[in-house]
Chains A and B, each alone.
Chain A
Amino acid sequence: MIRIENLTKSFGPKKAVDDLSFSVERGEVLGFLGPNGAGKSTTMRMITGFLPPTAGRISIGGHDVAEDGLAAKRLIGYLPENAASYPDMSVEGFLGFAAELRGLNGSDKKKAVGRVVDLCFLSSVLHQQIDTLSKGYRHRTCLAQSLIHDPEVLIMDEPTDGLDPNQKHEVRNLIREMGKTKAVIFSTHILEEVDAACTRAIIIDRGRIVANGTPQELRSLSDLAGAVTISAANADPVKLAALPEAARVEAVSDSAQGPGLRVYPKDKLASVALARSVMDLAGREGWQVSALHTEEGQLDEVFRRITLPDTVKK
């Protein structure tokens, strides 16, 4: 649905987005990660046709954004950063306006407004003026606007920014639900959202893609991935390090089960073999094991390592 080829955007001498290529199909939810100023919003503004790219091509459902912008825009629902809306309008008026610009009139318009009002839990503030609403409601009003025409492509710039935990949960569920039938891109810097809502994630830094994969794949990039943590009163680190699959052993206190030993594998893909050896060893030695688990790797560690290569790299 969304195809991006060699997308570049320069502001003066500075390249905000540098040769980005990726695509998103229907049924996918792509999480767009990156530190502030990495080029996430700029990329989204180009996809939605607000900013013209310096170079590269974007096509939405086969329509080139530069050549046939209107056809592309019709397929897109867009939640801009900060969820801008007209403060002097009522929620109902604003959604009606959005519906009219999407070509919905009369009973179609009424139906569409009713649908998104239910979807975004806005019925209690329907007649209130937008600038009297709390941030969460204002945000959901703009979200409702992006869904009014049941778009095939949904682009959301920090959709959970400024929401309380319950609202965040609702919005993530909504995104996941939408992702079943649409092509969705959303940006965030909250890593837990990647697990909560994405089928795939891209990490960008200084305008370039530095990682691209499923949340599982990204997590496996972590140093921690595949390590086995064992909590046992009398475990011996020397014997653990002597295992053929083990690279090194480290004492840890960050594990939820209390202090323990973490064994890093030589080969991340062979973590199952490592776990088996550790268990066998513990059985042979008669250690009193209180917990043993294989680490999945942590996204925030991956994120920090690849977006701050010079300062965090070991």
Chain B
Amino acid sequence: MKARMNANSSVANIRAIAKRELSSYFTSPVAYVFLVIFLLLAGFFTFTVGSFFERGEASLSAFFAWHPWIYLVLVPAVGMRVWSEERRSGTMELLLTMPVNAWEAILAKFLASWAFLAIALALTFPIAITVNVLGDPDNGMIAAGYIGSLLLAGAYLAITCMTSALTRNQVVAFILSVVLCLFLILAGFNPVTDMMTRWANPAVVEIVAAFSVITHFDGFQKGVIDTRDLFFFLSVIGFALFATSVIIRNHRAG
């Protein structure tokens, strides 16, 4: 009866948890509300605020430029429940007393939510088709933009996973992650860096700006995939998920 209990690999655990997590988005209305709002907002900013047509450019820069701001609210809304809900309902106890390592659960939940965000992003494909119909854009640049946008969403999401592990209250998790992500934007946001140069050493301003997602997202929008930018986003994700594991371990240690 105890068949194949020892053949229980990490990959199988991660797949099982991620599958459950991803399908839980779609069994609740949250997923559909999110998808509709994301697509509406993306469209609104691109066409109205970003004046997509008036620019007369065959590029998606008007589209991608708004992503750090749209994600600022929407990614924490997707990720806030990831751990706080498990803590609140007591399923965290169930999950972590299964023969599963905590890091497998953390990674699986992150990957599932990231996959959900990837689905949302993929559904913006009509805009890529539109520029291709209307003009002759650089599709490599568009692909780079999508990769950058996905990494950006991943960084915000990892931070939200971390704040979500801190509290059993989703609203607290949401607000904390918005504040943290806002900091990551503002550190490199031009109006802010301009203001800082008035009283700070430019070298200091540059160091602070190096922590900004704006600085690192910029390259992707221009079609440049720089290893430093890749490294930045992946290390934000890695660090936040590591912090999540520390938080969960400390929470259990009491």
Residue from the list B3, B89, B93 in contact with A50, Cβ < 8 A: B93
B56 at the interface (CB under 8 A from A): no
Query: Which residues of B sit under 8 angstroms from A102, Cβ to Cβ?
Result: 5, 8, 98-99
Residue of B13, B28, B97, B253 contacting most chain A CB atoms (<10 Å): B97
Known: A84-B89, A150-B1. 20 other contacts (CB 8 A): A49-B97, A50-B93, A50-B252, A51-B253, A73-B97, A73-B99, A73-B100, A86-B89, A87-B89, A88-B27, A89-B20, A89-B27, A97-B16, A97-B20, A102-B5, A103-B4, A103-B5, A103-B6, A108-B3, A152-B2
Chain A, 256-302, CB within 8 A of any chain B CB: none
**A70 engages B254 (CB within 8 Å):** no
**B90 engages A81 (CB within 8 Å):** yes
Residue from the list B4, B28, B98 in contact with A73, Cβ < 8 A: B98
**A104 engages B16 (CB within 8 Å):** no
**B254 engages A108 (CB within 8 Å):** no
**A9 engages B254 (CB within 8 Å):** yes
A45 at the interface (CB under 8 A from B): yes
- The residue of chain B having its C-beta at the shortest distance from the C-beta of A42 within the complex is B254
Per the bound structure, the CA–CA distance linking A25 and B140 in Å amounts to 65
A85 at the interface (CB under 8 A from B): yes
With contacts A11-B254, A89-B20, A103-B12 known, is A78 near B97, CB below 8 A? Answer: yes
B77 at the interface (CB under 8 A from A): no
Query: Which residues of A sit under 8 angstroms from B28, Cβ to Cβ?
Result: 88
Q: How large is the interface on B (under 10, 10 to 19, 20 to 34, 35 or more residues)?
A: 20 to 34
Report A304 CB to chain B, min CB distance, Å: 30
Per the bound structure, the CA–CA distance linking A93 and B26 in Å amounts to 14
Count, chain A residues at interface, CB 8 A = 39
A101 at the interface (CB under 8 A from B): yes
Per the bound structure, the CA–CA distance linking A145 and B91 in Å amounts to 12
Give me 6 A-to-B residue pairs in the complex whose CB atoms sit less than 8 angstroms apart, sorted by A's number: A74-B5, A74-B8, A81-B90, A98-B98, A100-B12, A101-B17
Query: Which residues of B sit under 8 angstroms from A86, Cβ to Cβ?
Result: 20, 24, 89, 91
- The residue of chain B having its C-beta at the shortest distance from the C-beta of A129 within the complex is B27
- The residue of chain B having its C-beta at the shortest distance from the C-beta of A70 within the complex is B99
With contacts A97-B20, A102-B8 known, is A149 near B94, CB below 8 A? Answer: no
**A89 engages B97 (CB within 8 Å):** no
B7 at the interface (CB under 8 A from A): yes
- The residue of chain B having its C-beta at the shortest distance from the C-beta of A52 within the complex is B253
Query: Which residues of B sit under 8 angstroms from A97, Cβ to Cβ?
Result: 16, 20
A80 at the interface (CB under 8 A from B): yes
A156 at the interface (CB under 8 A from B): no
**B5 engages A84 (CB within 8 Å):** no
A183 at the interface (CB under 8 A from B): no
Report A248 CB to chain B, min CB distance, Å: 49
Query: Which residues of A sit under 8 angstroms from B8, Cβ to Cβ?
Result: 74, 101-103
Chain B 128-145 against A: per-residue CB contact (8 Å), 1 yes, 0 no? Answer: 000000000000000000
B235 at the interface (CB under 8 A from A): no
**B97 engages A76 (CB within 8 Å):** yes
